[in-house]
Structure 1
């Protein structure tokens, strides 16, 4: 079985978010898929299986669990099909746990059509738990499977020290920490993502989180086209456009390595 390691939401290697993309020739047991993801030990390992021309089954595994949605590994999967598998069509569809997703190839990179994540109020118990994680929260929201907190400014997001045990105990897949950008005029908001309960202490660039960050920040800016920057050690930029009930995520990807799984 062939595999590729791709840095997604990146324009050069060793930046953005690395994902392993495995090309399945046949079905494998879920336990083997999970053990292989643990062997790669990246935020996500994506498994691609061709169903028909331009249509693929796509699954995503962290080192410990299978997840419902992953942006960077979907971008990596589309990149592999176009860059290494001689796929000619410019629009790809993926059959996933979150329904059919679409990736489109353009001159400025890849755009992904993802479901928009609804934003809602947190419960009193969630609010208390989030204040235990950190003080000085400007706002707290439920963001689908995740919880989201806004901090005072970009510097607070950059210097945020996560208490991973408390974050792992939150009733959520992970924690999104965000603030309005202040250091780069072409960036609207910044964020970080922590998912220790899912086997990811800090995710370098989290596409799925931007499906919630877009509707959170769009009313503040009065527009539906935004740019986010994730302030992990590797860093990465995600363009996002709200189009009806969809979040259109955009970015580039770079192949770092390829090999064969025995």
Structure 2
């Protein structure tokens, strides 16, 4: 017998449709197998599909304060996804009408707490990931006194060459091992037009690295003069930092908005700027996303908006 369940496609980390990062949210109240979740995610074919389930059997999506939450790309499950968490929170609060001011998600990355923050915004409490400065042959390593240094395997430099062969464009390299993200922090003098022009040679990167050390590659910049370099929003407010995220090892060549990656990129930029409140931008052709971060001792408070673009049902038997 075929059953139908409410499903949504939500643009996260944006206040307008067709910007930010789209995620699918499926409100299926019973547990499915990993293979079933994977098939649904492949059907949506978005960077992530989220599956929340109320943990209290006596509650439902509208009343529960605690949910399990899992995220699947078209290729595999991931341990943390910021934009799909934001999208899920938006659906529960603003589409379903969950009346609680705060809800919790039990995930493979621990308990994530989200709160309403006025005007439809959601404030998310995420873990801050341990970072290591990576020593790569032939490159300077200015952050080795800030983040504990580790030796980078030879292939790291070869992967970096897949996005920029110019060593002078690189300021530092850091690894969030638990998150599985390698961050290439670029020279602070790069202009936005040049930042937008970077391209990852996906096929070459996949040939060089199998995804065992990291499954995502981020580039970031803390511009020395955001206004003159073009790193400003539509209201001319300067960004503290900008980033891009490539995840071909998870089947996502480039992600429009990656909340989880901000848990690594944000602390790096916070150290460079000596600030704990940051305004960040993720560049992506014809989209883009904005992040408000508050860095705490071992947590990152991430605030964002979302817009529902599709409401419907998924048929499943």
TM-score, normalised to structure 1, is 0.96
Runs of 4+ in 1 over 6 A off after TM superposition: none
Picking from 278, 288, 298, the partner of 1:245 is 298
Picking from 183, 186, 200, the partner of 1:162 is 200
Listed one character per residue, the Cα deviations across residues 138-162 of structure 1 (whole Å, up to 9, x for unaligned) are 2111123110102222433211011
2: CA distance, partners of 1:32 / 1:194? 26
Equivalent residue, structure 2, for 1:19: 23
SS in 2 for 1:101: strand
2: CA distance, partners of 1:243 / 1:161? 33
Q: Which has the higher strand share?
A: 1
Output aligned runs, 1:1-262, within 5 Å: 1-52=5-56, 53-107=64-118, 109-122=121-134, 123-125=151-153, 126-133=155-162, 134-135=164-165, 136=167, 137-144=170-177, 145-152=180-187, 153-155=190-192, 156-168=194-206, 169-170=208-209, 171-181=213-223, 182=226, 183=230, 184=232, 185-233=237-285, 234-262=287-315
- Going from structure 1 to structure 2, the CA distance change for 1:50 and 1:242 (only over 3 Å counts) comes to same
1: CA distance, partners of 2:160 / 2:97? 50
Structure 1 vs Structure 2 CA RMSD? 1.4
Listed one character per residue, the Cα deviations across residues 219-240 of structure 1 (whole Å, up to 9, x for unaligned) are 2111110011001121010111
Answer with 1 or 2: which has the greater Rg: 2
Question: CA offset at residue 48 of structure 1?
Answer: 0.9
Structure 1: stretches of 5+ with no match in the other structure:
none
Structure 2: stretches of 5+ with no match in the other structure:
57-63, 135-150
Question: CA offset at residue 124 of structure 1?
Answer: 3.1
Q: Is the 8 A contact 1:115 1:245 kept in 2?
A: yes
2: CA distance, partners of 1:40 / 1:225? 35
2: CA distance, partners of 1:75 / 1:166? 33
SS in 2 for 1:36: helix
SS in 2 for 1:261: strand
Question: CA offset at residue 190 of structure 1?
Answer: 0.5
How many residues of Structure 1 are paired with residues of Structure 2 in the alignment?
Answer: 262
- Going from structure 1 to structure 2, the CA distance change for 1:28 and 1:160 (only over 3 Å counts) comes to same
